Amino acid sequence: MKLIPLPAFTDNYIWMLHDGHQALVVDPGDAQPVLEALQRLSVRLEAILVTHHHPDHTGGVNALRQATGAKVFGPAREVMPEPLTRLAGDDQLQSLGLTFDVIDVPGHTAGHIAYFCANVDEAPLLFCGDTLFSGGCGRLFEGSPAQMLASLDALAALPDATRVCCTHEYTLSNLKFACAVDPTNKALADYTAKAQSLRARQQPTLPSTILLERQINPFLRTRQATIVQAAKAFDATASDEVSIFAALRQWKNEYQ
C-alpha cells in the first residue's frame, strides 16, 4: 500500500491510499489534486472517506463521485453531499481489502468521525480529520471541551505505532505553542527541530504516530503535572480535568 498526502489549498492534505490498482481518498476538499493523482498513478478511485462537514473537506466529493463512480462514506450526524453511506462509532467499512473501524470523535464538529485500520502493511493507520493534529488538536467549533477531551483520549489509546494522518500542515505552529506550554520537554524540542527541517525542504511533517503525540502533544497530556501547572498559570480558575483542557485550548486560541 502507498500512503500519499496530496496538498490542497493553503495547508490541507487529502490523504490517498492505493495498492497500485485501486485507491481511496480522505477529505477531498478539492477534486483536482485527486484527479491528477489518479491519472498520474493509473489507479481507480474506489472510495471517498469524509470525517466531517467543513467545505475544505467535502468540496470535491460530488465532482469525484461523478468522475469516478467512487462510493462515499461520511458521518451519520452531519450534513453531507448525498448520496453516501453514513457511519458512526463502532461501524466498519471495507475498502481496498482493508477493514476500517469508525470512531466517534466529536469536538471540532458535533458529528466528527475518524477511521482506524489496525493493519496496513504491518502498522495501524488513523485518518483523524481535524480532531488530532501533530502537536495540537482542532478548534472547538461545535462540540464541548468534555467531548473533545474524550475524543482525544480515545485516539491516544490506539496502538503506539498508529500513523496519525490529520488533514492540515499545522505542525510548526502547534509545536511553537507546545514549547511555550512545556519548555523543558526534550522529546518536544527534538521533534520541533526535525519538523522545521522537513518544512524547510517543503516536505510534509505527517504522518505522525500516536506514541510521538503522547510524548509531545500537550492536548494528550492535560493530566500531567507540568501541563496542569501551565494551564493554571493561564487560567487560575481551572481545576478539574475538563477545565484544564478548556484552559489549554483557549490559551492556544489566543496564542500568537
Catalytic residues: 52, 54, 56-57, 108, 130, 168
Torsion of CA 207, 88, 240, 108, to 10 degrees: 60
Helix axes 171-181, 241-254, angle to 10 degrees: 120
In what helix (H) or strand (E) does residue 48 lie, and over which residues does it extend?
A: strand 44-49
DSSP-based three-state secondary structure for 103: strand
Q: 166, 132 in Cβ contact below 8 A?
A: yes
Residues 6 or more apart whose CB falls under 8 angstroms from that of 156 comprise 210, 213, 214, 220
DSSP-based three-state secondary structure for 233: helix
Q: 43, 50 in Cβ contact below 8 A?
A: no
Residues in the chain: 256
Q: 112, 121 in Cβ contact below 8 A?
A: no
Phi, psi of 202, deg, nearest 5 = 60, 35
Pull the grid cell for residue 205.
Answer: 511533517
